[in-house]
C-alpha cells in the first residue's frame, strides 16, 4: 500500500499495491475525479503526515496571534478612551462602546440642559431639618452624568450661612450615575441646618472631571 496525493485537489489517500499493478499505476481521485499516476505523486508516510501537523500548528498560531492583537487593541483603546472621546471623529464610537461595556468614561455634559422641576423646600417644625423635594430632568438629546446639587443657606438678611454640594447618590430617590435623553428622577434630600438659616438657593454643578 502506498500513500499518494491528487495533484488537482491535493487530497491524500492510500492505494493497494495490487490495485496499482492492475491499472498500471493510474488512479482516479474520489474527491475531484482527476486521473493521475499514483506512483509519480507518491508520498513518504512521514512527509504525508507532516504538512497536516504543520497546518494545524499554523492555524493555532494564527488564531492565538489574532486574539493577542485583539486584546492589545482593546487595551490600547481603553487606555486612550478619554482623549479619543474628545475627538469629533471617534467620540460616537467610544461612547457607543462605553454604553455597552462600562469603561469609567463620563457621559457628555451640557449642564444647562438639566432642569430642577417643581422644587419644594421646607423646614420641618422646630427640628432644624430642611427637606428638599424636586424633580431633575435631562432635557438634552443625549445621556448625561447626573450633576451635583448645590445648596446654599441664607440668613434673614441674605448672608450666606452655609453652602455645600451633594452627589447623585445622596439626593436621588433612586440613585443612578446618569439620565437618558428626556429622563426624569425624583430628588429627595434632608439636611440639618443652623438656627439662623431663613432662606436657600438651589443650583446644579458639573461633576469634577476625573
pLDDT at 190: 92
Domain ranges of the chain: 2-43, 111-205
DSSP H or E stretch at residue 169: helix 168-171
pLDDT at 136: 95
pLDDT at 188: 94
Which fold is adopted by the domain 111-205?
A: Immunoglobulin-like (2.60.40)
pLDDT at 49: 47
Q: Could you tell me the pTM of the whole model?
A: 0.50
pLDDT at 139: 93
Q: What is the mean pLDDT of each run of 10 residues along the chain (210 residues)?
A: 82 78 79 83 61 55 72 62 59 61 60 90 81 93 90 88 91 91 94 85 79
Within 8 A by CB and 6+ apart from 28, the residues are 34, 35
Strand bridging mode 148-154 / 144-145: unpaired
pLDDT at 48: 46
DSSP H or E stretch at residue 60: helix 45-79
State the sign of the Cα–Cα–Cα–Cα dihedral 87, 91, 97, 100.
Answer: positive
Angle, CA of 129, 134 and 138, to the nearest 5°:
140
Alpha carbon distance 151, 197 (integer Å): 12
Amino acid at each position: 500500500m502506498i500513500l499518494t496525493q491528487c495533484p488537482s485537489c491535493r487530497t491524500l489517500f492510500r492505494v493497494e499495491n495490487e490495485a496499482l499493478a492492475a491499472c498500471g499505476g493510474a488512479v482516479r481521485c474520489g474527491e475531484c475525479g482527476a486521473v493521475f499516476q499514483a506512483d509519480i505523486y507518491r508520498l513518504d508516510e512521514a512527509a504525508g503526515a507532516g504538512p497536516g501537523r504543520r497546518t494545524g500548528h499554523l492555524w493555532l498560531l494564527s488564531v492565538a496571534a489574532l486574539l493577542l492583537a485583539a486584546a492589545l487593541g482593546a487595551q490600547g483603546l481603553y487606555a486612550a478612551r478619554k482623549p479619543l472621546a474628545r475627538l469629533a471623529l471617534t467620540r460616537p464610537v467610544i461612547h457607543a462602546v462605553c454604553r455597552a461595556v462600562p469603561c469609567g468614561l463620563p457621559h457628555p455634559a451640557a449642564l444647562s440642559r438639566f432642569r430642577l422641576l417643581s422644587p419644594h423646600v421646607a423646614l420641618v417644625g422646630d427640628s432644624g431639618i430642611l427637606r428638599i423635594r424636586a424633580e431633575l430632568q435631562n432635557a438634552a438629546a443625549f445621556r448625561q452624568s447626573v450633576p451635583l446639587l448645590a445648596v446654599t443657606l441664607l440668613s434673614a438678611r441674605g448672608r450666606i450661612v452655609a453652602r455645600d454640594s451633594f452627589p447623585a447618590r445622596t439626593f436621588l430617590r433612586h440613585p443612578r450615575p446618569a439620565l437618558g435623553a428626556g429622563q426624569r428622577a425624583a430628588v429627595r434630600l434632608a439636611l440639618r441646618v443652623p438656627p439662623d438659616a431663613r432662606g436657600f438657593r438651589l443650583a446644579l454643578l458639573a461633576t469634577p472631571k476625573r
